[in-house]
Amino acid sequence: MTTQTTGQLARNKSIVVAFIQELFTEGDLTAVDRYLHPEFVNHDPPFPGAPPGAEGFRQAGQMFRRALPDWHSELDQLVAEGDVVVERFTASGTHRGELMGVPPTGRTIVLIGINIFRIEGERIVERWGRLDELGLLRQLGISPS
């Protein structure tokens, strides 16, 4: 891990926040191209069967925005050290389109999670994450409560 200045840590945080807000809250799929390194590694794909790398993130953004057009991510906590930024979030939206095979319910769907991003230069090069997938499946009615 490299030593970072306060300015570099703030820049790394701003890269992560901009990426998440542009992709998931604004639905801008080109955010993947701007913020993820061409050799980006996603150690924990965002959904079962997601393609590796940046394309899996693009598809996740597209899937959530199609099913939940008002999908938005609220930042609960952001911590940076060295070249790593940890984001704890709560995302939510109204279920208005098919999601994971479930037709629209009109209910608010909430997803909480934690992402760990590693930054090199101006790009995100790696991600590890844990999402409350079981909670999501329960809200969709496809997992026992």
Tens of pLDDT, residue by residue over 62-95, are 999 999 999 999 999 999 999 999 999 999 999 9
Q: What is the dihedral of CA 7, 88, 82, 44, to 10 degrees?
A: -130
Q: Does domain 6-140 have CATH number 3.10.450.50?
A: yes
Instruction: Sketch the domain layout of the chain as residue ranges.
Output: 6-140
Q: Bridge partners of 85? A: 80, 117
Written as six digits, the tokens of 69 are: 């057009």
Convert the pLDDT of each residue in 35-58 to its tens digit. Answer: 999 999 999 887 778 888 999 999
Burial class (CB in 10 A: 0-12, 13-18, 19+), 30: exposed
Task: Please state the pTM of the whole predicted model.
Answer: 0.91
